[in-house]
């Protein structure tokens, strides 16, 4: 049973380009969470999604960032017109949707904006 | 904001038990205590969780005080590979509940 799969592992984008980060949850998990970790800082919650629904996007920057979790396929975190401050590690987690089951995290995507 | 307080860092000798404390004095009756760790920029790894009873698994033990206002994570025989940041998290069972990470404890295992 594969864990949470994130790709790409490393992504380099020039300022102004778009970044697309993918997350495939564990089999049987219908809830996905995205977190961002800036260099030398802690993990910050961004968004919580279920299939075709955004449940909580309170941690998402108001502009340039969006997330989706379609009925088929992986969850996508999209960053438009990237800036150097977007350089960070982005982690995805999935769960069965009940708090007492905990989350499983992926290995992350390391975005570098040059 | 995180609902827990942890020491910033701790040292432990290799082979000894590592005891990591956590205060969660505002925990409510339906909230669980979770522990995760992050080893050098890898994805966070689940360790253990509990509601009010002590718990043990292959990785660690979790001791929760009777009033549930604090807990201790115990790594019984620490190895160098246990060097990581350890996060104590309080989370409810509601549909909208989510993990909020605090600053955690940076545990150094000394050879």
pLDDT for A102 = 76
Would you call B99 and A45 a contact, using CB atoms and an 8 Å cutoff? yes
Residues of A in contact with B100 (CB under 8 A): 45
Neighbours of A26 (CB within 10 A): 17
Nearest CA in chain A to B103: A42
pLDDT for A113 = 97
pLDDT for B3 = 86
Compute CA distances A110 → A103, B15, B58, B79, B84, whole Å: 20, 34, 31, 28, 19
B43 in contact with chain A, both atoms CB, cutoff 8 A: yes
Q: From CA A60, how far away is CA A66, in angstroms rounded?
A: 8
Q: From CA B60, how far away is CA B48, in angstroms rounded?
A: 7
Nearest CA in chain B to A40: B41
A35: exposed, middle or buried (C-beta count within 10 Å: 0-12, 13-18, 19+)? Answer: buried
Q: Tell me whether strands A104-105 and A88-95 are parallel, antiparallel or unpaired.
A: antiparallel
pLDDT for B30 = 86
pLDDT digit string (tens) for A45-78? 999 999 889 999 999 999 999 999 999 999 999 9
pLDDT for A98 = 61
A35 in contact with chain B, both atoms CB, cutoff 8 A: yes
For residue A108, give how far its alpha carbon lies from the nearest alpha carbon of chain B (Å).
Answer: 6
pLDDT digit string (tens) for B17-57? 999 999 999 998 889 999 999 998 799 999 999 999 899 99
Residues of B in contact with A102 (CB under 8 A): 34, 46, 49
pLDDT level of residue A100 (50, 70, 90 thresholds):
low
pLDDT digit string (tens) for B65-87? 999 999 999 999 999 999 999 99
Residues of A in contact with B101 (CB under 8 A): 35, 42-45
Mean of the per-residue pLDDT values of chain A: 92
Would you call B103 and A102 a contact, using CB atoms and an 8 Å cutoff? no
A2 in contact with chain B, both atoms CB, cutoff 8 A: no
pLDDT for A101 = 65
């Amino acid at each position: 049973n594969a864990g949470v799969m994130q790709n790409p592992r490393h992504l380099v984008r020039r300022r102004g380009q778009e970044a697309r980060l993918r997350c495939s949850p564990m089999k049987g998990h219908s809830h996905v969470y995205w977190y961002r970790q800036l260099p030398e800082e802690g993990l910050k919650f961004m968004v919580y999604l279920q299939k075709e629904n955004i449940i909580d996007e309170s941690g998402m920057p108001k502009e340039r960032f969006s997330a989706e979790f379609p009925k088929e396929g992986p969850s996508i975190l999209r960053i438009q017109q990237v800036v150097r401050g977007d350089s960070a590690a982005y982690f995805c987690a999935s769960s069965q949707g009940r708090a007492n089951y905990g989350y499983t995290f992926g290995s992350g995507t390391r975005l570098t904006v040059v | 904001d995180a609902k827990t307080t942890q020491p910033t860092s701790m040292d432990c000798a290799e082979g000894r038990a590592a005891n990591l404390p956590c205060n969660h004095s505002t925990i409510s009756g339906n909230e669980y205590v979770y522990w995760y760790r992050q080893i050098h920029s890898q994805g966070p790894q689940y360790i253990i969780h509990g509601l009010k009873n002590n718990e043990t698994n292959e990785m660690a033990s979790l001791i929760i005080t009777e009033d549930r206002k604090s807990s201790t994570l115990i790594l019984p025989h620490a190895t160098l590979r246990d060097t990581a940041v350890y996060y104590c998290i309080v989370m409810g069972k509601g549909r909208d509940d989510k993990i909020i990470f605090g600053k955690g404890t940076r545990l150094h295992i000394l050879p």
